[in-house]
Structure 1
Amino acid sequence: MSIFDFRSYKAFLKAQCEVERGALTRLAEAANTQKSYLSACLNGKGQLNLDQAFGVAEYLNLSDIEQDYLYLLIEKEKAVTPALRRRLESKAKEMVREAFRLKNQQKDAVIVTERDSNIGFYYASWLATAIHTLTSVPQFQSIAGLEKRLNLNQKSIEAVISYLEKMDLIKKSGDKYRWNSSNIHLEDSSVWISSHHTNWRARAMDNIQKYDREATHYSSIQSFSEEDFEKLKKKIAYFINDFNKVADPSEPEDVYCFNIDLFRV
């Protein structure tokens, strides 16, 4: 459960109280207030002050951005004039969008920028990212194994391998080329974002034309509300987080491409 799923701090704290028995008492102690006052506050009477909210945030071990969002929700609840409330609501929505940006869902990834050496080569085609990832799988850590897997000639494989070695993304050990990096993630503002997505969606189209029965492809054009658009973006962000929790520690046996698209037409 994330505070960014809530538009009211009272709803968030009430949800916390439903998670485990005695939570209301512990939250009241953290806020340095009476249990009866906190209960009345959460049910519509009164507001927490920022000192009380700080105690609650510390108890819940909220991150800095989560704490800032909690304080903002409190200020929004206290706002009297409609104009101020709208302004604070708009700011809250922006904080939620920022919290669910994909780079914030990949906390263990290395964020690369245009200043990084050879980054243009890495994202210019699908081949470099494919070979880099394949070298995490034992049977694809040789030139011959990569040739067979990708159906490419030796010179093409060797040229990419050479660049990946220079970037320190793989290391040679005997006749093996082993994966040697953390997960890599582009900044949202990178000029290579478009190229990277285009490359792999083109590969997805190739796969569709092969009628690969093991693959899953889904496209849907639908109309829905602005509120549900934001809700779906959150669900996708959560799913990507869950996806990485399963995929990252998984034993490498083969390499797969995973795409999700949701955009305004």
Structure 2
Amino acid sequence: MDKDVFDYNGYREYLFDWLAGQPKRGRGLRSSLAAAMHSPVSHVSQVLGGISDLSLEQAEDVNEFLGHTADHSEYFLLLVQHGRAGTAKLKSRIESQLERIRQKRLILKDRLDVKTSISREDQATFYSTWHYAGIHILLTIEKYQTKEAIARYLGISLKKTTEMLEFLISIGLAKQEHGRYLVGPTRVHLGNDSPMINKHHINWRLQAIQSLEREDMQMALHYSSVVSISKDDATRIKALLVKSIENAKSVIRDSKEEELYSFCLDFFRI
């Protein structure tokens, strides 16, 4: 789908384009949408054809089905109210509400353009779970630049995915262009002295543990050992590992973005 709900002035057009933008042009999704609304499929067809309107209760069911965030849900409900409005005066009032929301989002986008780093408060949210960093890097891979594809790949709900994308957009780590989510202008760097560094390491070590329990081990690499060595050799090994990291980062920098991998390395004294 090439647009966001905020780009629409009518909810029918939005729903029609959303269905058309799904795999196989949404074949079979009308039935799923009807089930979510507790309505027959014929009612969905009548709504899309302009014969019937959604009730507000059905609109809320659609919000849940599409994984709308609170802001998306509010706007979509206003679109439905606008479609149902019976007088020009009421339509005009709702149009003003819709326009205020659109203008507010434009101002927010303008502010995001000048961001170069994220605040400590936003870092706390970003590193609260590995999903934020995972989604941020997934956006570099073309096949995962829609919220539906991200939700399927990570195995999380569409609503949670949308909320996380909205957060990444709000801090400039993501942006939306032509219906796709891309990496934004802001950069995130975590120094070794950051209070978030331990949480960052823990997030990805937990993923390493989960990787051990999965069956797709062919392309994974896990090595664990306990050794007794001299102090000088410990320094030598650390230098070798640092050099390996630098070499790996050189390969990563020039690599085509196709798959998401985690790269963790540990060498420490017990």
Q: TM-score category by the smaller chain?
A: 0.5 to 0.7
Match of 1:148 in 2: 152
- Indicate the SS of the match to 1:186: coil
Match of 1:162 in 2: 166
- Measured after TM superposition, the shift of residue 211 of structure 1 is 3.2
Cα distance change, pair 112–188 in 1 and its aligned pair in 2 (3 A)? farther
- Whole-Å separation in 2 of the counterparts to 1:118 and 1:184: 11
Hey, which bits of structure 1, 4+ residues long, moved more than 4 A? Answer: none
Pair 1:139 & 2:146 matched: no
* Structure 1: 5+ residue stretches without partners: 1-110
TM-score by length of 2: 0.54
Q: Which amino acid aligns with 2:209?
A: M
1:206-225 matches, within 5 Å, as: 206-214=210-218, 215-225=220-230
Q: Which amino acid aligns with 1:230?
A: T
Pair 1:226 & 2:231 matched: yes
- Whole-Å separation in 1 of the counterparts to 2:193 and 2:235: 21
- 2:246 corresponds, among 217, 220, 241, to 241
- 2:206 corresponds, among 178, 191, 202, to 202
- Whole-Å separation in 2 of the counterparts to 1:148 and 1:206: 18
Match of 2:124 in 1: 120
- 1:171 corresponds, among 151, 172, 175, to 175
- Whole-Å separation in 2 of the counterparts to 1:249 and 1:174: 26
Pair 1:256 & 2:265 matched: no
- Measured after TM superposition, the shift of residue 116 of structure 1 is 4.4
- Whole-Å separation in 1 of the counterparts to 2:128 and 2:222: 24
Deviations 1:202-252 (A, max 9, x none): 111111011322211111110101001111111111111111110012110
Aligned residue pairs: how many?
154
CA contact (8 A) 2:171 2:186 kept: no
- Measured after TM superposition, the shift of residue 181 of structure 1 is 4.6
Q: Which amino acid aligns with 2:267?
A: L
- Measured after TM superposition, the shift of residue 138 of structure 1 is 0.3
- Indicate the SS of the match to 2:225: coil
Deviations 1:175-202 (A, max 9, x none): 1000125764311111111111111111
- Indicate the SS of the match to 1:185: coil
Cα distance change, pair 181–244 in 1 and its aligned pair in 2 (3 A)? farther
- Indicate the SS of the match to 1:144: helix
Structural RMSD (CA): 1.8
* Structure 2: 5+ residue stretches without partners: 1-115
- Indicate the SS of the match to 1:191: coil
Cα distance change, pair 178–219 in 1 and its aligned pair in 2 (3 A)? same
- Indicate the SS of the match to 2:228: coil
- Indicate the SS of the match to 1:197: helix
> Which deviates more, 141-150 or 175-184?
175-184
- Whole-Å separation in 2 of the counterparts to 1:201 and 1:235: 21
Q: Which amino acid aligns with 1:137?
A: I
Cα distance change, pair 204–112 in 1 and its aligned pair in 2 (3 A)? farther
Deviations 1:66-87 (A, max 9, x none): xxxxxxxxxxxxxxxxxxxxxx
Match of 2:24 in 1: none
- Whole-Å separation in 2 of the counterparts to 1:124 and 1:205: 18
Match of 2:28 in 1: none
- Measured after TM superposition, the shift of residue 129 of structure 1 is 0.3
Q: Which amino acid aligns with 1:143?
A: K
TM-score by length of 1: 0.55
- Measured after TM superposition, the shift of residue 172 of structure 1 is 0.2
User: Between the two proteins, what is the percent identity of the paired residues?
Assistant: 27
Q: Which amino acid aligns with 1:195?
A: K
CA contact (8 A) 1:132 1:169 kept: yes
- Indicate the SS of the match to 1:124: coil
